[in-house]
Structure 1
Amino acid sequence: MREVAFIKQNKEKWLEFEQAIFGKSKKSPDELASLYIHLVNDLSYAQTYYPKSKTVVYLNHLASIIYQKIYKTKRQDTNRLVYFFKTEAPLIVYQNRRYILYAFILFSVFTAMGVISAANDGAFVRLIMGDHYVNMTLENIEKGNPVAVYKSGSNWGSAFGITFNNLRVGIFSFIMGIFGGIGTGWVLFQNCIMLGSFQYFFYEQDVFWESVRGIWIHGSMEIFAIVIEAAAGLVLGASILFPKTYSRVASLKMGLKNGLKIVLSTMPFTIAAGILEGFVTRYSPDMPRFLNIFIILFTLALISYYYLIYPFRVNKKVNHPANV
């Protein structure tokens, strides 16, 4: 895009920034933060295409002033980490909500494929899970504890190993988005096929609800986080395939930054899921049923609220304060 067209396209938005900076329009710190995110994206584009232009100097000046106003006016007890999870990450999720939807659609389709494949091919579960795992699970079912596999290892050892593996899978899923999102789709496909066939296997053995009571204690947050991480990979892939008015390089930088922040936002949930799997899931057969159900519904509600409802509330508060 030529510099004149770039300025013309964004001039009104920059004027709004100026009014906010110089007190002609009152903005809260959260509103300024939202403006700052947009301004940094424009600055990144200008630095890429017009490095010696006065536009870069102008935008850099605006960005520095907004940054100072944000951190001068924000309460002293609100640190950067709190701001990230409370405002920044939800805003990025909101801006990329279509990719969250796409990831859940893919998750549903791929998981259904796993269920249908397992239902129509008796050897499919063994192909996916391996003979050793299937035989061990069959033995556990005969002993009356379908999810006894979660009792293996120590509490801390299991929690650490599981958490590390899930974090690795999430980061890998995101990075694979560099291949236009296809790599991320493949990682999600593998996990969903495994999930669908695994759950059908328990259904076939007439212990479906027993497995749900155990697996989904940690699975609600673990699986949900995997879907969100896949959405981050799709954000990265889309930044390459659909750069819009930005250069492909500038678009890639924004997609990489925003996608990575989405992945970082999932880490507390992934860590919590690992702790639940290491310390709580192993005791699920001996728990009162209401406690099983409460933990599953509570963890599912918590992560669902953060990614499906809270971003809309933050966006409304930051960008439409008059309507709050």
Structure 2
Amino acid sequence: MREVAFIKQNKEKWLSFEKAIFNNRFKDPDDLASQYVHLINDLAYAQTYYPKSKVIKYLNQLAAKAFQKIYRTKRQDTNRFVTFWKVEVPLIVYQYRRYVAYAFILFLSFVAIGVISAANDDAFIRLILGDDYVNKTLENIQNGDPVAIYKSGSNWGSFIGITLNNLYVGIRSFIYGVFGGLGTAWVLLQNGIMLGAFQYMFQAEGVLWESIRGIWIHGAMEIFAIVVEGAAGLVLGASILFPKTLSRKESFKIGVKDGVKILISTFPFTFAAGFLEGFVTRYSNAMPHFLSVGIILLTLGIISYYYLIYPKTVYKKLQKAYATL
């Protein structure tokens, strides 16, 4: 799109937002949050395609003033990177919190299916995990080290390989959302059933606790991130199936933008999980129980806070700011 067309298409929206934010014309905090996120989207688009344009300065100033007015701060860092993680992603996650819930419900349901299937069919675990993996794990259990498979390879090799694989799973989960969310559900199905069968195998062998305190050192962030990536895919699918008052094309564009931002937000957690799997999980047997459990609770607490608690905190700040406008 040419710059002139971009400005013409969005000019009225920007002017409307500018008037609304300074004349207290928003009907509710949801509207304010949505308009702010759209403004940030336009700023990012302009920075990408019109890097020397004066419109970037205008949008940046408007975004900065809007942020300062919303949060009532005398001085506030309006750096694009900081704003993305501190405000933009949390507001988007809160806006699509239903889809995060749907993703968790789907995933946990699939985990339950994996557990039940494994408990009622001796061949199911081998069907899902493969004979080689099962045989190797059973051998490790007999040797007194249930999670020995995570100690193979070098630290850096494991970290890089595992991280790339997890990024691939997350990106695929999001992209498959284009099939009305069914592709995303399929990825969640595969991973959920695999996890259920995997954990039941350790339960059946009487080493569930040993597996938990080892595998979940990295698994807490890894699995949580996969579910959130699934939520991003469901957002994409819903934008196609349920455009509401927007055209399907416009709804899809918004779904792509918001879904990609949710997806990107999981990448630091995916890298952290890969690092833990490559450098920490392999030493789980040598750790005192309180340390391994502490790492699990810490990693789960961090990612849970960012996606389940912090978005509501940011939104409440927005509500409070709106109430005093």
Shorter-chain TM band: 0.7 to 0.9
How far apart are residue 32 of structure 1 and its match? 7.5
How far apart are residue 315 of structure 1 and its match? 1.1
In the alignment, which of 57, 62, 69 is matched to residue 62 of structure 2? 69
Q: In angstroms, what is the RMSD of aligned CA positions?
A: 2.9
Describe how 1:190-229 pairs up with structure 2 within 5 A.
190-229=190-229
Query: Which structure 2 segments of 5+ residues have no match?
Result: 1-11, 43-54, 69-74
TM-score, normalization by structure 1: 0.83
Q: Find the aligned partners of 1:210 and 1:184 in 2 and give their Cα distance.
A: 31
How far apart are residue 70 of structure 1 and its match? 2.1
In structure 2, the partner of 1:258 is 258
1:120 aligns with 2:120: yes
1:69 alignment partner AA: L
Q: Residues 33 and 91 of structure 2 are in contact (CA less than 8 Å); yes or no, is this contact kept in structure 1? A: no
Q: Residues 33 and 70 of structure 1 are in contact (CA less than 8 Å); yes or no, is this contact kept in structure 2? A: no
**Partner secondary structure for residue 23 of structure 2:** coil
How far apart are residue 218 of structure 1 and its match? 0.3
2:151 alignment partner AA: K
CA deviation string 1:1-57 (max 9, x = no partner):
xxxxxxxxxx9998564142xx43499xxx987533246889xxxxxxxxxxxxxxx
CA deviation string 1:157-188 (max 9, x = no partner):
10011011101100000000000000000011
Cα 1:26/1:250, change in 2 over 3 Å: closer
1:259 alignment partner AA: G
In structure 1, the partner of 2:111 is 111
In structure 2, the partner of 1:296 is 296
**Partner secondary structure for residue 145 of structure 2:** coil
Describe how 1:1-324 pairs up with structure 2 within 5 A.
17-20=18-21, 23-25=22-24, 35-38=35-38, 65=58, 67-71=60-64, 77-321=77-321
How far apart are residue 67 of structure 1 and its match? 3.8
Q: Find the aligned partners of 1:24 and 1:287 in 2 and give their Cα distance.
A: 59
Query: Which structure 1 segments of 5+ residues have no match?
Result: 1-10, 43-61
Q: Find the aligned partners of 1:284 and 1:40 in 2 and give their Cα distance.
A: 43
CA deviation string 1:121-169 (max 9, x = no partner):
0010001111111010011001100000010010011001101110110
Q: Residues 177 and 233 of structure 1 are in contact (CA less than 8 Å); yes or no, is this contact kept in structure 2? A: yes
Corresponding pairs, count: 292
CA deviation string 1:287-317 (max 9, x = no partner):
0000011000111111001000100111111
Q: Residues 64 and 78 of structure 2 are in contact (CA less than 8 Å); yes or no, is this contact kept in structure 1? A: no
1:238 alignment partner AA: A
In structure 1, the partner of 2:7 is none
Q: Residues 18 and 62 of structure 2 are in contact (CA less than 8 Å); yes or no, is this contact kept in structure 1? A: no
**Partner secondary structure for residue 153 of structure 1:** coil
Cα 1:114/1:14, change in 2 over 3 Å: farther
Q: Find the aligned partners of 1:320 and 1:242 in 2 and give their Cα distance.
A: 31
Q: Find the aligned partners of 2:316 and 2:14 in 1 and give their Cα distance.
A: 18
Cα 1:26/1:156, change in 2 over 3 Å: farther
Q: Residues 32 and 66 of structure 1 are in contact (CA less than 8 Å); yes or no, is this contact kept in structure 2? A: no
In structure 1, the partner of 2:3 is none
